[in-house]
Amino acid sequence: MIPDIYLIYASLALLILAIGWLIRFEIKLRRLLGGKNQSLDNAISEIRKDLSAITEYKDESEKYLENVERRLRKSITGVETIRFNPFKGDGSGGNQSFSTAFVNEKGDGVVISSLYSRERVSVFAKPIKKSSSEYEMTAEEKESLLRAKESNQV
């Protein structure tokens, strides 16, 4: 038969283990509850409220970002200017003439050109759809459009 002293020591060891386990459980419960003295049900309901607020914020953020993306696709993101002399042979005009392309990511926009001579200045605008125009374009206009498209892809 086991002496009674061993039973007392075993019972005491089990009691100490149970107390240690209870203290550890209390510490974890306090961490879960954020150090507040409240019930577990209240903590879970607060977590649910916070989760629904976070979900609502996420949905609003996604809608906002979709709107921003839609607006950005329409905005002008590529701008390039080419200066040139349209009258190279007779010496008039200098490099005062220019062609500037304004395009968005889809290649839609406008090319504005100005031809300068001593007697007058002419300004032309050509609409651009999908990186081309229904109007005939000069080499300078094509070059400014090409450079504007390339600047969009960087």
Question: What tokens does 50 get?
Answer: 């916070």
Contact (CB, 8 A) for 104 and 75: yes
Q: Let me know whether 17 and 58 are in one domain.
A: no
In 3D, which of 43, 23, 24, 22 has the Cα closest to residue 32?
43
Q: What pLDDT is attached to residue 33?
A: 72
Q: Let me know whether 25 and 49 are in one domain.
A: no
Sign of CA dihedral 74, 76, 82, 87: positive
Q: Let me know whether 8 and 60 are in one domain.
A: no
Give the helix/strand (H/E) hosting 78: strand 78-84
Low-confidence ranges of the chain (pLDDT < 50): none
C-alpha span between 103 and 78 (Å, rounded): 5
Q: What pLDDT is attached to residue 79?
A: 94
Q: What pLDDT is attached to residue 105?
A: 87
pTM strictly above 0.75: no
Q: Let me know whether 96 and 136 are in one domain.
A: yes
Domain span at residue 2 reads 1-32
Q: What pLDDT is attached to residue 106?
A: 87
